[in-house]
Amino acid sequence: MDKNWKLETLAVQAGYEPGNGDPRVVPIAQSTTYKYDDAQSVADLFDLKREGFFYTRLANPTVAAFEKKIAALEGGVAAVAVNSGQAANAFSLMNLASAGDHILASAGLYGGTVSLFTNTLKRAGIEFSFVSTKATRAEIDAAIRPNTKAVFVESLGNPSLIVPDFEVFSAAAHAHGIPLVVDNTFPTPVLCRPFDFGADIVTHSTTKYIDGHATSVGGIVVEKGDFDWAASGKFPGFTEPDASYHGLIYTRDFAAMPFTVKLRVQLVRDYGIPMMPMHAFLSMVGCETLALRMERHSANAQILAEHLQKHPKVGWVRYPGLKDDPEYATAKKYLKGCSGVLTFGVKGGAKAGEWVMNHLKLAAIVVHVADVRTGVLHPASMTHRQLSEAEQIAAGVSPDLIRVSVGIENVDDIIADFDQALAGC
């Protein structure tokens, strides 16, 4: 891999470099285990004294190729692929915080993430509080506590479509000696590279655009590699001996990627959350067209948003690429395109919106977002159903909101579909 390759090239080429006579496409290593000729080799692998594979719960060649591709696209040093986006967010934070610690998150996050934070991780003893995504530096400073171990934001909220001011969040986090974790699912590295704006850890639900074809649930966590864990003084788990690995010190023994190694050998190993080889293969092949797809998703969403905005039956439209959208300026600063998701409300409210959803023909009702096919969803009764009404509003979900995941079909056909459904309501 050439270090100077641009993103479009990395999307196609990075991660797998076949040798002479090897398969051109990354092979699916559908094997739980690996054969060795002598016992010492395996002992050395267990001791992390040499690189290699010994059990797919920890690492697998196909998954490793996928991890390398995404790390290259994000500009990070290494990545760990896991079995869902939920696992990526949960375990990236559990790698930083334990019972008794606190994490500060921005509002307007994906409903499943809010539920994970306010229920499951809370039960594990990690406390979460939320600040506005538009919080000032002073407000963020005031919300960070002595036991805060990370600041968490989404680069483009699902479905709030809010873009945080990364530089303000990262400056505040770093001033307090803690990392900024960014869920970059919606923009993907094609449209946003959070490491360029001060993030330290990036997570993804690879289920979405990275796979891009709705075939595989998966997640990934990427480490930038320059956070100073020792200087922070807040992360003894990184800087002091790990008893479960007879005294390994992550910052000393794996100085280039301590976060990644700790995540893999403690949490992926113990909780058993690896990505499966077949999912890594499908996601890796999907990712080869990521740059092309994100361009088309963004272009189609922009055209549909502008069309809906002019439609007499539509009450409102939100898409950060619209000039009068509240996120237009921040999106211009941080994103190279606004991705494929827009939201809108029909003038007749939630009931009329449901009618429109039921009468779409090309766009399907799906509990999914970010694949090649256009789909719609009503978050209040679906993805955000478990949240209270107040939490839904905080997440940017009004009762009439319809979320459209604009696919890569011909945009004229997508527009015609929405027009015929709106005509009847």
How many beta carbons lie within 10 A of that of residue 142, not counting itself?
12
CB of 126 to ligand PLP, least distance (A): 17
154 near ligand PLP, rule: CB under 6 A: yes
- Residue 321, CA distances (Å) to 92, 267, 326, 343, 400 in order: 30, 39, 10, 12, 21
345 near ligand PLP, rule: CB under 6 A: no
Rg of the chain in Å (alpha carbons) = 22
CB of 319 to ligand PLP, least distance (A): 17
Among 60, 86, 95, 115, binds ligand PLP (CB under 6 A): 86
Q: Pick between residue 154 and residue 165 the one whose CB is nearest to ligand PLP.
A: 154
Q: Pick between residue 173 and residue 210 the one whose CB is nearest to ligand PLP.
A: 210
- Residue tagged 């054969």 (tokens): 35
Contact predicate 284/15, CB 8 Å: yes
How many beta carbons lie within 10 A of that of residue 316, not counting itself?
14
Among 106, 158, 266, 339, binds ligand PLP (CB under 6 A): 158
211 near ligand PLP, rule: CB under 6 A: no
Looking at residues 90 to 129 of the shown chain, list those that interact with ligand PLP (rule: CB under 6 A): 110, 112-113
- Residue tagged 């591709």 (tokens): 69
306 phi and psi angles, rounded to 5 deg: -65, -35
Residue 142 one-letter amino acid: A
Q: Pick between residue 184 and residue 251 the one whose CB is nearest to ligand PLP.
A: 184
CB of 112 to ligand PLP, least distance (A): 5
Site map (CB under 6 A) of ligand PLP, residues 167-206, x = contact: ----------------x-x-------------------x-
CB of 255 to ligand PLP, least distance (A): 30
152 near ligand PLP, rule: CB under 6 A: no
164 near ligand PLP, rule: CB under 6 A: no
Q: Are strands 402-405 and 375-377 parallel, antiparallel or unpaired?
A: antiparallel
Copy the structure tokens of residue 249: 């010190």
- Angle formed by the axes of helices 61-74 and 277-287, to 10°? 40
The site for ligand PLP, by CB under 6 A, has a size of: 15
Q: Pick between residue 85 and residue 189 the one whose CB is nearest to ligand PLP.
A: 85
Q: Pick between residue 251 and residue 392 the one whose CB is nearest to ligand PLP.
A: 392
Edge to edge, what strands does the sheet with 375-377 contain? 314-318, 341-346, 402-405, 375-377, 364-365
How many beta carbons lie within 10 A of that of residue 3, not counting itself?
5
What's the rounded Cα separation, in Å, for the pair 228 and 335?
Answer: 27
CB of 142 to ligand PLP, least distance (A): 26
CB of 86 to ligand PLP, least distance (A): 4
Q: Pick between residue 251 and residue 339 the one whose CB is nearest to ligand PLP.
A: 339
377 phi and psi angles, rounded to 5 deg: -155, 150
In which element (H, E) is residue 151 found? Answer: strand 148-154
Residue 23 one-letter amino acid: P
Site map (CB under 6 A) of ligand PLP, residues 289-318, x = contact: ------------------------------
Copy the structure tokens of residue 342: 């827009």
- Which residue's CB comes closest to ligand PLP? 85
What's the rounded Cα separation, in Å, for the pair 213 and 286?
Answer: 7
How many beta carbons lie within 10 A of that of residue 39, not counting itself?
8
Among 82, 114, 140, 217, binds ligand PLP (CB under 6 A): 217
What's the rounded Cα separation, in Å, for the pair 302 and 133?
Answer: 23
CB of 245 to ligand PLP, least distance (A): 28
How many beta carbons lie within 10 A of that of residue 2, not counting itself?
9
Q: Pick between residue 99 and residue 382 the one whose CB is nearest to ligand PLP.
A: 382
84 near ligand PLP, rule: CB under 6 A: yes
How many beta carbons lie within 10 A of that of residue 241, not counting itself?
14
CB of 154 to ligand PLP, least distance (A): 5
Give contact residues for ligand PLP (rule: CB under 6 A): 84-86, 89, 110, 112-113, 154, 158, 183, 185, 205, 207, 217, 219
